[in-house]
Structure 1
Amino acid sequence: MNFLTADKVSYLFNWKWLTASVATFSALASSLPCHALPLSPGDRIRLSVSEPHLEQAQAIDDPFRFTGLYEVNLDGKLQLPLIAPITVSSLELDDVEQMVRSELIQAGLFQPSFVQVSAEIAEWAPVPVLVSGAVFLPGRVLTDGRQAANLPRFANQPPVDRETQPFTLSGDYPTERFLTSAIRQVGGVKPDADLENVRLIRNGYETVIDMSGIVTAQPVTDIPLIAGDHIIVPEIGYIQPELVRPTAITPDVIAVFLSNQTQPRGGGATGGDIAEFTYGTRFSQAAVAATCGGGSSSVNANRRVALVQTDLDTGNTAVYDRSIEDLLRDPNGSENGNPYLMPNDSIVCYDASVANTANIFNVISTILNPFTTILDIFRD
């Protein structure tokens, strides 16, 4: 009769624990999204298939050879000679190699022990994706993946015609076919974006992605995109100051309309100008940039400045009207506060009542000045 000693019990327990841990890890790994770049319609791949014996290969016409350059069709399929189209959209190159090899063997064109298939990227295509939620310009964007024509050429090498001759070297890095690039194409995220729960819907399946590390300087995996992806950036319900600054998913600069008829510039008043400000600029800083303040304190202290903001989602307009002196000396003291500037905001500067009175006298003086000159002529 066999008895389990303490050493055997400990060994069996550790072995079962290790087996269970490996199984759990495998299950978790299979459920995580893959971050390699899958294929989309329009992508071009260079397919290399081991040819038969040389004498047999010479008997095969060029249209029926398998080695060559292929482009993924609009329906996501790859069309090879003599076999049915293969669906390769959303697949990686390793999977494409296995599928092509399997189809060639099943069609009886190659023996399993002789066929070898290799797939390499020749050129990435632009892919359409949909971005919605807490972004400035939600909608459909086309991520541009074809950058091969911009690569430097070697000496005495003629220009490459993309339509007839793709870039001959294998490999390409489509910097615009990633999640962060698509978000930047729609103007970036708003200050109330929930970056910890960004949703990516692909082929009916949803993945939640934490992108908060972009603003907290933590590692973030940038997800590669394929045609038909839908990105949803949820709203968190309040303004987050850490999102109102230039980052990989927020604007670098914003356009703001300025109107200041109180201060001449370059011989004329500043009217209807469009200025660019660094994203994160506040109301008070824009008022200074628009020369709404300054000059004589007794004359200009009572000037006023207004900020006009329009909500692109609702169309509602909010107006922040403040005394320029109060805005500069106590930016956050008013009920309206000192808000951040958003794209396409408007800044309007109003003159003080003292300055208006002075302008009236200047106008009267300008009108009377010709009569004074005429009287001086007759006196002489």
Structure 2
Amino acid sequence: MVSIRALTTALITLLVTGVMSLPGWALPISSGDRLRIFVPADDELPEGDRLQLSGVYEINLDGKLLFPFVTPIAANGLEAEEIEQRLRNSFIENGFFRDDRFQISVQVLQWAPVQVTVAGEVFNPGRVLINALPLTDRDGRPRQRAQELLNTTGEAPSERFLSAAIRSVGGLKPNADIRNIRLIRGKQEQIIDLSGAFTGEPVDDVPLIAGDQVIVPQLEVPQTALVRPSQLTPSEIPVIMSNLSEPARRGSQILTMPYGTRLSQVVVAANCAGGNKVTNAKRRVSLVQTDRLTGQTRVSDYAVERLLRTASRNSENPFLMPQDSVVCYDSTVSTASGVLGFVSDI
């Protein structure tokens, strides 16, 4: 019989193992990042003997950190602690300081914007700048220059992550394979699962650096679960609407609708449905969709009354995508009535 102590020990071991196996991502250094480097041993020397090592340093466009008296360090993709250790080793190996006395501190002063590319099943694939620095801080005050931030370190660059890059290109399409998103950094490739953004489970939202490439693979079947506002999809979409039917005569307009809106909902919002059943029951609408990559336009016609009564079928009541156009037409009864009315007025 297993003792209570053995069961407790096994449970604690399982919990600790589970916690330790949870994914964690530190933000890597990238081109343009500013570092505050402090060397106490140098600052304590007489003024004439100092090497002037402490100060603010910016990572070059080639991803290297230029620091006095040592070989340039390839900093792209490293963490601040790794840069700290490499600088320490370089100064000790070159005989500038003794191992038992030398200390160095590397802290991030400011996270820079980074250029990344996003391709695949997103609405606007291409190259984007993420984590663009605003002109003001969270309190609305003008952002300080790096020289004025010497006594402040740390920042939370929430826009330098994978999810921010996907949002910057319009978000995921319904056919996106969110469990196998490819992140290519130099010669290395990693597969990222972002399904937790839609299920509420933990998400490996990876921090990005300049030059990263993101590819969203395509699934053959659209996923209805992705067609809703989320951290990885649009919150709202523009829909072009034309309604010259009687009696609405609204003309053309651009409606802003929540992402996940179906054609039947736009038809109702644009006043294309309802009214006299005798004259309006046979109204119809056309859905005009243009493929942004190929430029091909597809037009699909729907009977309004049937559209409203089969609202749960994806094939007969599709979700609308950004920049879709909806055209509302009168029924033949309304058209004939209008012609007869025109003739009687002559």
Please give the TM-score of this superposition, normalised by the length of structure 1: 0.79
| 2:38 pairs with 1:38 | no
Whole-angstrom CA distance in 1 between matches of 2:336 and 2:278? 13
Name whichever of 305-314 and 230-239 sits farther off: 305-314
The whole-number CA distance in structure 2 between the counterparts of 1:221 and 1:174 is 16
Q: Look up the match of 1:283.
A: 263
* 1:346 aligns to 2:335 (yes or no): no
For 1:116 and 1:33, the matched residues in 2 are separated by: 31
Task: Answer yes or no: is 1:209 the counterpart of 2:192.
Answer: yes
Is 1:95 the equivalent of 2:82?
Answer: yes
2:227 to 244, 250, 255: 244
Question: What is the rounded CA distance, in whole Å, between the counterparts of 2:147 and 2:81 in structure 1?
Answer: 27
* Alpha-carbon distance in structure 2 between the residues aligned to 1:356 and 1:168: 75
Aligned position for 1:18: none
Q: Give, as a single letter, the amino acid of the residue that structure 2 aligns with 1:177.
A: R
1:300 counterpart = 2:289: no
Aligned to 2:180: 197
| Segment of structure 1 superposing worse, 236-245 or 307-316 | 307-316
Q: Aligned residue for 1:235?
A: 218
Q: 2:5 — aligned with what?
A: none
1:151 aligns with 2:151: no
Shift of 1:146: 3.2
Quote the residue 1:58 is aligned against: 47
Distance in structure 2 (CA, Å) of the matches to 1:279 and 1:60: 64
User: Is contact 1:263-1:291 (8 Å) kept?
Assistant: no
Counterparts in 2 of 1:95 and 1:33: CA distance versus 1, 3 Å: farther
1:161 CA drift (Å):
4.4
- The whole-number CA distance in structure 2 between the counterparts of 1:218 and 1:254 is 26
Report the equivalent of 2:96.
109
Q: How far apart are 1:310 and its partner, in Å?
A: 1.7
Please tell me whether the aligned partners of residues 147 and 174 of structure 1 are also in contact (alpha carbons under 8 angstroms): no
Alignment partner of 1:72 is 2:59: yes
What secondary structure sits across from 1:207 in the alignment?
strand
1:185 Cα deviation from its structure 2 partner: 0.8
Deviation at 1:355, TM superposition (A): 1.9
Runs of 4+ in 1 over 6 A off after TM superposition: none
Q: Residues of 1 paired with 2:135 and 2:285: CA distance?
A: 50
Q: Give me the whole-angstrom Cα distance separating, in 1, the residues matched to 2:331 and 2:151.
A: 68
Is 1:313–2:293 an aligned residue pair? yes
After superposition, the Cα gap between the structure-2 partners of 1:163 and 1:263, relative to the gap in structure 1 and judged at 3 Å, is: farther
Q: SS where residue 193 of structure 1 aligns?
A: coil
Conserved? CA contact 2:109–2:146, under 8 Å: no
- The aligned counterpart of 2:70 is 83
Conservation of the 8 A alpha-carbon contact between 1:127 and 1:177: yes
Say whether residues 1:356 and 2:345 are aligned partners: no
CA displacement at 1:50 relative to structure 2: 1.4
**Counterparts of 2:105 and 2:134, CA distance in 1:** 23
CA RMSD, 1 decimal? 2.6
- Report what 1:337 is aligned to: 316
Name the one with the larger helix percent: 1
Letter of the 1:88 counterpart: A
Q: How much has 1:34 moved relative to structure 2? A: 6.8
Q: 1:322 to 1:209 in 2, by over 3 A?
A: same
Contact kept? 1:130, 1:231, Cα under 8 Å: yes
Superposed CA offset, 1:288-340 (max 9, x none): 1111111111111111111111222333322221111111123367x951111
Equivalent-residue separation in structure 2 for 1:356 and 1:237 (angstroms): 42
> In structure 2, do the counterparts of structure 1 residues 133 and 98 end up closer, same or farther at CA, with 3 Å as the change threshold?
same
The secondary structure found in structure 1 opposite 2:261 is coil
Q: Secondary structure at the match of 2:334?
A: helix
Cα 1:148/1:222, change in 2 over 3 Å: farther
Q: Which residue of 1 aligns with 2:254?
A: 274
